[in-house]
Structure 1
Amino acid sequence: MARGDNRQAGRRRPIDDEPEEEVVEEQPKSRKKMWIIIISLSTLLLLGGGGAGAYFFVFAEDDPLGLFGGGEAAANEPEPRQPPIYYGMDPAFVNNLSGTGGRRFMQVNVQLMARDPEVIAAVERHEPVIRNDLIMLFSDQTLESVDTTEGKEALRRDSLETVREILGDNDEPDEVEELFFTSFIVQ
């Protein structure tokens, strides 16, 4: 046998009937596709990560998870509000209405609302002064002024301002948030 014949005898034929040269050509094409896919996915991940980073650092105003240190946003957030504390001024206020032809009376139950126990303690300490000034305010009312909803609302606002002034004048915390008329009777 000739040397050339030995080479052919040592070679094995592929199982499928395609020539060897075509199989060799398909491997580089497959590698090219793989590299294109890898580069495309990498680029997509980088762009997505960059976009998310830009959003969190530039556009996000708050940090719900506290990941970025808090900064100004945490300092500007108000403290959680305390539950309201109500204080009833008993007994009810009973006053004569001024300026009426006949005798007219007004009976008012008053409740104060604050969120700080110190404010309620201050109201208790100065209750005689508060009651006095509210009686004077209620005595100045006429039937016409308290006969309408607007008149009652104006009296409520004036009463709240009176309570705040008394506490402030006595160097007490004056954060009484609301004053409510829980009963309002005119006869």
Structure 2
Amino acid sequence: MADEELKIEQGGKKKKMIIIIAAAVILIGGGVGGYFFMAGGDDMPELGEVVDPGEEQVAPASGTALYVAMPRPFTFNVPGVGRDRLVEIKVQLMIRGFENEEEIKKHIPLVEGALLKVFSSSNADDLVTEAGKAAIKEQSLREVRATMKNVTGREVVEQVLFTGFVMQ
């Protein structure tokens, strides 16, 4: 009887040891993963570093990030090889600072016109792929920035976000 109790106790110690080792491996793996995630690539140039003027510069991020939604979704037809498709895109603009928020709200019809210009030049075959969606989003950002720079003298918009994308 004493031998049976001893065997049960030893089996419990092995299970506890396996659980402790597994927890330690998970914690260490999580710590290493967190380190690499937080220390990920810093795209900002170092002080004194020479920057190629040909590279596209992003507007400096200062102030609170604010999101301005376009008042209505963009609904339009796009031609495709097989058939034409109907697309609906809901758009929000990420801007920084309250003064930029007021500027963008003042010029929403102008921004809508710039976005419609980009959307009308697309085709269904491109919008089906993730690369095509990313390309139209990047083109939208460039067009909105250029439009706002012509009006206000500065690039007000930091990002163009598609919060809804439906294609039928």
Corresponding position of 2:148? 167
Closer, same or farther: CA 80–118 of 1 in aligned 2, 3 Å: closer
Tell me the secondary structure at the aligned position of residue 83 of structure 2: coil
Cα deviation, residue 106, structure 1:
0.7
Percent identity of the aligned residues?
29
Q: In structure 1, which of residues 63, 82, 86 is the aligned counterpart of residue 67 of structure 2?
A: 86
Runs (4 or more) in structure 1 with deviation over 6 Å come to none
Higher mean C-alpha deviation, range 169-178 or range 159-168: 169-178
**Which residue in the other structure is 2:125 paired with?**
144
Task: Please show how residues 52-131 of structure 1 align to structure 2 within 5 Å.
Answer: 81-131=62-112
Cα deviation digits, residues 8-50 of structure 1 (max 9, x gap): xxxxxxxxxxxxxxxxxxxxxxxxxxxxxxxxxxxxxxxxxxx
Question: Mind listing any 5+ residue stretches in structure 2 that lack a counterpart?
Answer: 1-59
Matched to 1:166, the amino acid is T
Count of residue pairs the alignment pairs up: 109
CA contact 2:61–2:96 (8 Å) conserved in 1 = no
Distance 1:168 1:185 in 2: 30
Would you say the 8 A contact 1:97–1:104 is kept in 2? yes
Map Cα deviations across residues 43-101 of structure 1 (whole Å, 9 max, x no partner): xxxxxxxxxxxxxxxxxxxxxxxxxxxxxxxxxxxx99422111000200001103455
CA distance in 2, matches of 1:139, 1:119: 27
Question: Given that residues 119 and 175 in structure 1 are in contact (C-alpha distance below 8 angstroms), is that contact kept between their aligned partners in structure 2?
Answer: yes
Could you tell me which runs of 5 or more consecutive residues in structure 1 were left unpaired when the two chains were aligned. Answer: 1-78
Q: Which has the larger radius of gyration?
A: 1
Shift of 1:103: 3.4
Distance in 1, matches of 2:92 and 2:145, equals 14
Please give the alpha-carbon distance, in whole angstroms, between the structure 2 residues aligned to 1:186 and 1:80.
33
Q: How far apart in 1 are the matches of 2:167 and 2:61?
A: 40
C-alpha spacing 1:138/1:162, structure 2 compared with 1 (3 Å): same
Q: Cα distance, 1:153 vs. partner? A: 0.6
